[in-house]
Amino acid sequence: MKHKLVNELALFSALLFTGFLLLPVAIYFVGGIVFGGYEGGYGGFFGKLSRGLVSGDLPTWFLVLSPYLVIQVIRVSFYLFRRSGGSPAAE
């Protein structure tokens, strides 16, 4: 049980790092290509993201937690798939 908790905390930490540092970099650069430059550069973009987290802005928190949430959705999907018999119904 303790081993599972440690693994889950390590996964959460790694995906939180991804959501807070790596994902915003990707969003900034792709957004710059698609929509043009962000006023204030990356510092302004990251500052706004950080302020959104501190103020409890739900879309900002969803963005940062999205890597972990995606993994959880995949896990639940696999769990339900295995529980249902493990093979798709032939139609």
CB atoms within 10 A of CB 64: 21
Q: What residue ranges do the domains of the chain occupy?
A: 2-83
CB 15 within 8 A of CB 71: yes
Question: Residue 91 has what pLDDT?
Answer: 46
Contact 52, 60 (CB under 8 A): yes
Tens place of pLDDT for every residue, the chain, 91 residues? 889 999 999 999 999 999 999 999 999 999 999 998 888 899 999 999 999 999 999 999 999 999 999 999 999 999 999 888 766 554 4
Neighbouring residues of 25: CB distance < 8 A, sequence distance ≥ 6: 42
For residue 65, the tally of other CB atoms under 10 A from its CB is: 16
